[in-house]
Structure 1
């Protein structure tokens, strides 16, 4: 894999993930209690033997830069790196990245090294575990110019994805973005028998969705970028490559989730806390890497915890009840609190740490106060939730709207980063309004 270089796309503004992306980019959103989304593609690269990775960033990238810089420091003897390429104004151009392909075009000089033969293009906001060696083997054995990772899905999901049409050898001969009519769906349908023959059980899945993961021959990619003004891989570069080049499909049948909406994010996080998680963090052969924080073990004082993940450095006081929830780093949960179906992202400071103090001495400390009830919510980092607070979706609450300082997106309650809720605050008492 020494001849492979990877470009990870840092994502756009992430408007569908607001308010989680109000102060951070999508790849910097915390996941799994102690990780960031960006840890997923970089870990997949490391576990696959890819040691040269470039991260293209643009929006709200400070925390993302800090995390990558503090996490991925390769030793000087193996020649590996994870390098950040932020959008910048140069003598060649004064505009920002205009799309995924344009972002790579503006950094094409990093593809000029003579030892680079293949370029892997990844998204920074997807949750999956993949061995890219297998994808490269498929690419080379079929003498392909481009290989795209595809995922078998059923007809119900097909209308939300770009769907590939293959010939009997797995070569991509057509592509349709989000087919809607039955005629369009029939045009890109893949035979279940053919999928079964590839060693993957079709189980009623007759469509192969693009995962937004591309492997290019270096010269093929450079030509596509420099000889056209295409701005997007999915909408322009990939369809054009199908017409002019040999594009091969790589079939993937593991867990994969595009973390593009609040609902998708919330559900994927709670799935991690289930007794049989579809995305398993506890895999010694392919770990997910992140920044070491040297936190103490979590202290739990006579609490009742069911089907949950508890991260490092937490303090959970007596008689609290935590059910089907994900508890992030340094979380403090007071006595007799009830946490149900909650993604609690944790904190940067402990309650008594002066660095996390506010100017108002009456503000509650960082964490969840005594007797507080939270149900079906995402609580972003560094929130101060007082005693006897009740956060659960009231009747008549809009699917997308604002309830005082609390926001509802896709039907999920979101408490934004750094929110302060005083003792006795109740979501039921707040008049909801739509955006």
Structure 2
């Protein structure tokens, strides 16, 4: 099964100002040399996904430099598995107007790679996830679209896109930041929050984005997800069922945090501290790269220059 990954890293992180005055939100330092984007990239790389494109826009220089030093060296002279794509790389000069528009402007990557599935993942969350398990769930149910969902207290649901599902996980309704979140089928105190991680059958994704663009839509959460239940076979993947090797008994099962505000950013930093953290940054069986990687391995191969990463992708 061939999966193409598109990582959404173009937002300006207005709720994290002034921290994002000089950095894109995914490039913000997190803890112990890690940056926020390292978690999604670590998950994709550890899941064996060969082609990963980071769609960047707002203040991208520090993000590009970080990927150049911490991630590209893993290719060891081969074609980089991770590429940064900026607006205009397919010949135009239009900025990305939203998450859906960013993927729409890069549909040529689907044509080039001809994947079995397209993973569209957010770049600003802290978690560990084996994407292959989500892909198996998608295939086993004959889904056209699968949305990863984290169980959060229902009182917090208004901060997220929320999914109403049946007992089998099939999506009945998607509500973007609702006043009254819908509980999960088996727990009235919890709701399924969209993690901003989606798996699409390629044909369905292309059709949705083309229609969305014709109608003036630009965003997955606002313009694509709400219409899916009426038209496609869509499932919510319960992130609580996902497991990765090396997790410690004292860690919070299904740990996932959306780093959307300064308070959330600080709280997640506290979660990784102490001898028994609820989310450990150290897991040799599911490693994450960071700025500290080359310090620990001083003989690591030299990375290509930043200009190579910023060079437009051929169409």
State whether TM-score is above 0.5: yes
Aligned residue pairs, count: 279
Once the two structures are TM-superposed, the CA of residue 79 in structure 1 deviates from its matched residue by: 5.8
Aligned ranges for residues 328-407 of structure 1 at < 5 Å?
Answer: none
Query: Which residue is equivalent to 1:274?
Result: 274
Query: Which residue is equivalent to 2:261?
Result: 261
The structure where helix makes up a greater share of residues is 2
Q: In structure 2, how many angstroms separate the alpha carbons of the residues matched to 1:111 and 1:267?
A: 37
Query: Which residue is equivalent to 1:219?
Result: 203
Tell me the SS of whatever aligns to 1:119: strand
Q: In structure 2, how many angstroms separate the alpha carbons of the residues matched to 1:100 and 1:29?
A: 19
Query: Which residue is equivalent to 1:112?
Result: 111
Once the two structures are TM-superposed, the CA of residue 89 in structure 1 deviates from its matched residue by: 7.4
8 Å contact from structure 1 (residues 51, 79) kept in 2 = no
Q: Does 1:189 align with 2:183?
A: yes
Once the two structures are TM-superposed, the CA of residue 191 in structure 1 deviates from its matched residue by: 2.5
Q: In structure 2, how many angstroms separate the alpha carbons of the residues matched to 1:216 and 1:207?
A: 23
TM-score calculated relative to the size of structure 1: 0.61
8 Å contact from structure 2 (residues 167, 185) kept in 1 = no
Q: In structure 2, how many angstroms separate the alpha carbons of the residues matched to 1:81 and 1:59?
A: 22
8 Å contact from structure 2 (residues 4, 113) kept in 1 = no
Tell me the SS of whatever aligns to 1:69: helix
Q: In structure 1, how many angstroms separate the alpha carbons of the residues matched to 2:141 and 2:89?
A: 40
Q: Deviation above 6 Å: which 4+ runs of structure 1?
A: none
Query: Which residue is equivalent to 2:122?
Result: 123
The one-character-per-residue Cα deviations of 1:109-158 (angstroms, maximum 9, x if unpaired) are: 01103541111111111111001011001000000000000111222112
Q: Does 1:209 align with 2:203?
A: no
Change over 3 Å in CA distance of 1:208–1:144 after alignment to 2: same
Tell me the SS of whatever aligns to 1:120: strand
The one-character-per-residue Cα deviations of 1:242-297 (angstroms, maximum 9, x if unpaired) are: 2211111100121111111111111111221133212111212111112433269x
8 Å contact from structure 1 (residues 11, 125) kept in 2 = no
Query: Which residue is equivalent to 1:243?
Result: 230
Query: Which residue is equivalent to 1:34?
Result: 33
Q: In structure 1, how many angstroms separate the alpha carbons of the residues matched to 2:136 and 2:90?
A: 38
Q: In structure 2, how many angstroms separate the alpha carbons of the residues matched to 1:25 and 1:261?
A: 14
Change over 3 Å in CA distance of 1:131–1:89 after alignment to 2: closer
Tell me the SS of whatever aligns to 2:294: coil
Query: Which residue is equivalent to 2:70?
Result: 71
Q: Does 1:228 align with 2:222?
A: no
Q: Which structure 1 segments of 5+ residues have no match?
A: 193-201, 297-435
Tell me the SS of whatever aligns to 1:159: helix
Change over 3 Å in CA distance of 1:243–1:77 after alignment to 2: farther
8 Å contact from structure 1 (residues 11, 123) kept in 2 = no
Q: In structure 2, how many angstroms separate the alpha carbons of the residues matched to 1:114 and 1:63?
A: 28
Query: Which residue is equivalent to 1:141?
Result: 140
The one-character-per-residue Cα deviations of 1:71-106 (angstroms, maximum 9, x if unpaired) are: 222436876610110113765x44210000000111
Q: In structure 2, how many angstroms separate the alpha carbons of the residues matched to 1:56 and 1:285?
A: 28
Once the two structures are TM-superposed, the CA of residue 205 in structure 1 deviates from its matched residue by: 3.5
Change over 3 Å in CA distance of 1:205–1:134 after alignment to 2: farther
Q: In structure 2, how many angstroms separate the alpha carbons of the residues matched to 1:213 and 1:90?
A: 24
Computed over aligned residues only, the root mean square deviation of the Cα atoms, in angstroms, reads 2.0
Q: In structure 1, how many angstroms separate the alpha carbons of the residues matched to 2:185 and 2:24?
A: 39
The one-character-per-residue Cα deviations of 1:289-310 (angstroms, maximum 9, x if unpaired) are: 12433269xxxxxxxxxxxxxx
Q: In structure 2, how many angstroms separate the alpha carbons of the residues matched to 1:221 and 1:82?
A: 21
Query: Which residue is equivalent to 2:311?
Result: none
Q: In structure 1, how many angstroms separate the alpha carbons of the residues matched to 2:89 and 2:130?
A: 35
Change over 3 Å in CA distance of 1:9–1:76 after alignment to 2: same
8 Å contact from structure 2 (residues 69, 294) kept in 1 = no
Q: Which structure 2 segments of 5+ residues have no match?
A: 241-253, 298-315
Change over 3 Å in CA distance of 1:79–1:219 after alignment to 2: farther
Tell me the SS of whatever aligns to 2:288: coil
